[in-house]
Structure 1
Amino acid sequence: MPSLKDVKTKIGGVKKTAQITKAMNMVASARLRGAQDKMEAFRPYTAKFNEAMSNLSSRSSSGGNFPLMEKRDVKTVELVVVTSDRGLCGSFNSNIGKLAERTMREYEAQGKPVSFVCVGKKGFQYLKKTEKVRKVYRDIMGTFQMFNAREIATEVSQNFLAGGSDKVEIIFSEFRSVAVQRPTGHDFLPVQPSEATEGESTAAKISGEYIYEPSVEEIMDVLQPLYLNVMIYHAMLEVGASEHAARMTAMDNATNACKDIISKLTILYNKARQAAITAELMDIVGGAEALK
């Protein structure tokens, strides 16, 4: 049985850890409110932008006029993986990494080489073992702005136009609730119009006909780069909110685990203390009997 001093030291150490995890939980909770407000405010903009781009791309003539819409025979694939820069948020980052790794294996099984663009330090740390990381953006997820998304989108689209990839997907964690953050993947390039699902007519999917001024082609020239920026920024907002929610849950679980450990150590301390008291009483009784 460990000594009383050792057990007391352990209890003190676990209590300090519990104070740290509780403080981190409160910080994550405060940051989550701001991140969630920004994400929820941007979601309608993203949805409307997607709708407008789908309608525009279905009305325009794909071909040499819009190289970002050009459908090619997919020989190489690039995955843009968005994670956080910091840890201590449970399995949040590893779940995104596992989805990226699984997607890579699926494409490689079809004979299509895959490269990664990692946005966030944790994604790079997870995927660097594959030796397929082409570009890394570190230390931007804490204070990212639209210009960061523009830089990433520009670099990925230039690689696509140069023939470095024939298809680009973006993988990130979608914020569902404080308790649920689900890794997901979406097509990024080439930009394609949405298609009606089976049994659904185009007329039922698009409720009205739009007239564009100036021409569709002129509008597309302006909106395509903005669309890519919006898609990247949307993924970064989702990951930002998901990270704080995952960290809040992880720190709450850690605090509860510390309480359980303290409870068990307290019982062990009481047992050790009782054993020490019993040993002292036995010594006293033994000494008294010897004096008789």
Structure 2
Amino acid sequence: MASLKALKIRIGSVKSTQKITKAMKMVAAAKLRRAQEAAEAGRPYAERLEGVMASLASKVTVSESSPKLLAGTGKDQVQMLVVVTSERGLAGAFNTNIVRAARKKAEELEAAGKTVRFYVAGKKGRVIRRFYPDQIAGDFDISTMKVASFDQARAMADDLIRRFEAGEFDVVHLFYAKFVSALVQEPTARQIIPVKVEASASHASTSSTSAAAAVEYEPDEESILADLLPRNIAIQIFRALLENAASEQGSRMNAMENATKNAGDMINRLSIQYNRTRQAAITTELVEIISGAEAL
């Protein structure tokens, strides 16, 4: 049985931890509001740009002269999985869920005979090295990024496009956590290279079929696509960074709230144990004193 002194030290230690977790919860809650507003504000532009890309792509006959980011390499043997996580932990299962989704996709691709490579953005995503030590093709540093930045997204997009044009891979999938609410963050996977015309075309056509039919592009669809395709990739990566920032704070707030509650429960249990041990010690002393008095 632990001594009274050890229990008192343990209770003090848990109380200190509880103060830290409570403070971290408040900080995450304050950051969550701004991050959520940024993520929600970025969605309409990213979704509308995808619709424009789909509308343009549906009017173009994909051929060897088409932009490579649209036509692809003509094969899908080498698949690149871009895993975007955070730089910090203590955010519950936020990073774990993203990595798990990427690993599941990698297993499916390898089972289909594909070659899988990983491109990691965020310190916590580097855990993939434990499972795929020889398949890490890139590691983008976002440690200096205090808030989601389009410049960082564009730099990452430029690096991926350069590698794609150099023939390092055929298809790129982007993994991140979509922010739904403070309690729910959904691991999401999107193919960003080459652009998926079939999946996006239905979204564009349902938005306004008649309006799309009346649109005339100048100089021509392929020229506009060649200019918009790199921008679209940067925008989709920027959206992933914004969604991740909100998801991280929401997950951290919940994790710290649970940690604070668990610390409170532990303090109650330790306090009960401390009081029982103290009462037992007092009772033992009284029995010894009474026994000694009777012996005299």
Q: Which amino acid aligns with 1:68?
A: L
CA drift of 1:111 comes to 1.1
SS at match of 1:55: helix
CA drift of 1:191 comes to 1.5
Task: Report the counterpart of residue 161 of structure 1 in structure 2.
Answer: 165
CA drift of 1:129 comes to 3.3
1:173-212 map, 5 Å: 173-195=177-199, 206-207=208-209, 208=211, 209=213, 210-212=215-217
* 2:91/2:252 contact within 8 Å kept: yes
* 1:118/1:124 contact within 8 Å kept: yes
1-side partners of 2:166 and 2:219: how far apart? 29
Task: Report the counterpart of residue 136 of structure 2 in structure 1.
Answer: 133
* 1:85/1:142 contact within 8 Å kept: no
* 1:120/1:140 contact within 8 Å kept: no
Q: Which amino acid aligns with 1:119?
A: A
Percent identity over the alignment? 40
Q: Which runs of 5+ in 1 are unaligned?
A: none
User: If the length of structure 1 is used for normalisation, what is the TM-score?
Assistant: 0.94
CA drift of 1:95 comes to 0.9
- In the alignment, structure 1 residue 240 sits paired with structure 2 residue 245: yes
Number of aligned residue pairs: give it: 289
Q: Which amino acid aligns with 2:154?
A: R
2:103 is matched with which residue: 101, 107, 127? Answer: 101
C-alpha RMSD over aligned residues: 1.9
Task: Report the counterpart of residue 151 of structure 1 in structure 2.
Answer: 155
Task: Report the counterpart of residue 70 of structure 1 in structure 2.
Answer: 71
Cα gap change, 1:202 to 1:243, in 2 (>3 Å): closer
* 2:102/2:175 contact within 8 Å kept: yes
1-side partners of 2:206 and 2:46: how far apart? 22
SS at match of 2:197: coil
CA drift of 1:205 comes to 6.0
2-side partners of 1:111 and 1:252: how far apart? 44
Q: Which runs of 5+ in 2 are unaligned?
A: none
SS at match of 1:130: coil
2-side partners of 1:201 and 1:268: how far apart? 62
CA drift of 1:60 comes to 2.2
* 1:141/1:240 contact within 8 Å kept: no
Cα gap change, 1:201 to 1:239, in 2 (>3 Å): closer
Deviates more, 1:63-72 or 1:256-265: 63-72
2-side partners of 1:189 and 1:176: how far apart? 25
SS at match of 1:19: helix
2-side partners of 1:21 and 1:273: how far apart? 29
* 1:14/1:262 contact within 8 Å kept: yes
CA drift of 1:206 comes to 4.3
CA drift of 1:215 comes to 2.1
* 1:79/1:117 contact within 8 Å kept: yes
Task: Report the counterpart of residue 116 of structure 2 in structure 1.
Answer: 114
User: If the length of structure 2 is used for normalisation, what is the TM-score?
Assistant: 0.92
2-side partners of 1:56 and 1:229: how far apart? 18
SS at match of 1:78: strand
2-side partners of 1:123 and 1:204: how far apart? 37
Q: Which amino acid aligns with 2:15?
A: K
CA drift of 1:194 comes to 3.7
Task: Report the counterpart of residue 61 of structure 1 in structure 2.
Answer: 61
2-side partners of 1:137 and 1:163: how far apart? 19
2-side partners of 1:17 and 1:204: how far apart? 53
2-side partners of 1:201 and 1:228: how far apart? 18
